[in-house]
Amino acid sequence: MDSNNINVEDHDQGGSSVPDQRRGTGNPDGRRPRAVVVTPTYDEKESIADLIAVVLAEQKNVPNFDLHILVADGHSRDGTLEIVGKLAETNSNTHLLDVEERGIGVGLYKGFHHAIDCLGADILIEIDADFQHNPEDIPRFLKEISNGYDVVIGSRFVADSDISMSFFRLTLSVGANQMMRMMIGVKGVTDFTTSYRAFTKEVFLKVSPESVTWQEKSFIFVPVFLVRLLECGAHAREISVTEHPRSRGYSKMIYWRYIYDIIRFSIKSRLDIILKPDGP
């Protein structure tokens, strides 16, 4: 990984250059680009129906896109599958994938592939199912995608972000991000660990499945996946977002495992940089 070639533009860089390619104005076949919001779930019956409704309500604010939502469920036992299944029967923009195993990585990775292969996704948006992320930010993600960015990161640590986290979660997030910036050397990234992002189909398909920890049961998939997207040469940008503590359901994060995985990945990435042979 050549960290010196990776740079993420700040959300308020008014003078930053934008790629010539613009999205959101239609495909060669005449259809609007399809944006599929992928949310991984396990036992989210208390929030999932409301989340689907609020996400799809943003369609009116993104008329140049065809907005869909895909629930990638880890075979919930609380009725989440049944709730989403019934909604999908009556709404053609709602989709369900039973990934049949737990884990945010497997849910997202299989969900992304399903969105591309079966739903015709051009743009993928990653969002949590517990309302920690505000679906009203979706138009802002798509605006930057239409401006030509390959990856748009919803950062909690840039100006104008509205966040409310416990002291423990804030300390964990700040520490994890500082460690990754220091060890990996990626310029401009303030939030590796957020799971609120948008990216194009093209850049996703550049990521080698073997390079991503999608089978891990911890949340390490989230930062590793972003690093791999950036390594592929993605033109990226951070934007401010709103994030508040979950008000429904329960957290599935195992904190000690996540901390361990962050440290392990950061050290390994640093060693790979140090030991990488110089070019010819």
Q: Which CATH number is 151's domain given?
A: 3.90.550.10
Q: Is residue 20 part of a domain?
A: no
Q: Is residue 154 part of a domain?
A: yes
Q: Is residue 58 part of a domain?
A: yes
Q: Is residue 226 part of a domain?
A: yes
Radius of gyration for the chain, computed over Cα atoms and rounded to the nearest angstrom: 18
Q: Is residue 5 part of a domain?
A: no
Residue 69 belongs to what domain range? 29-275
Judged against a pLDDT cut of 50, whether residue 19 lies above it is answered with no
Whole-number percent of the chain with pLDDT over 90: 50
CA distance 84 to 73: 9
Local structure of 78: helix, strand or coil: coil
- The answer to whether 63 touches 139, Cβ cutoff 8 Å, is no
Q: Is residue 50 part of a domain?
A: yes
DSSP for residue 274: H
CA distance 35 to 215: 25
Ranges 37-41, 166-170, 268-272, most confident? 37-41
Strands (E), the chain: 8-9, 34-41, 66-73, 94-98, 123-126, 151-155, 162-163, 197-200, 236-240, 242-243
Q: What angle (nearest 5°) sits at the alpha carbon of residue 161, between those of residues 121 and 15?
A: 75
In this structure, are strands 123-126 and 197-200 parallel, antiparallel, or unpaired? antiparallel
Q: How many residues does the chain have?
A: 280
CA distance 21 to 84: 36
3-state secondary structure 46-66: CCHHHHHHHHHHHHHHCCCCE
Q: Residue 97: which residues within 8 A CB-CB, separation 6 or more?
A: 70, 71, 72, 73, 110, 111, 114
- The answer to whether 99 touches 107, Cβ cutoff 8 Å, is yes
| Mean pLDDT to the nearest integer, 251-261 | 69
List pLDDT tens digits, range 218-251: 788 888 999 999 989 999 999 999 887 666 655 6
Count of alpha carbons within 13 Å of 40, Cβ hemisphere only?
25
Q: Is residue 4 part of a domain?
A: no
Number of separate domains in the chain = 1
List pLDDT tens digits, range 102-120: 888 899 999 999 999 999 9
Q: Is residue 105 part of a domain?
A: yes
In this prediction the pTM is: 0.84
| 221-231 and 255-275 helices, crossing angle to 10° | 30
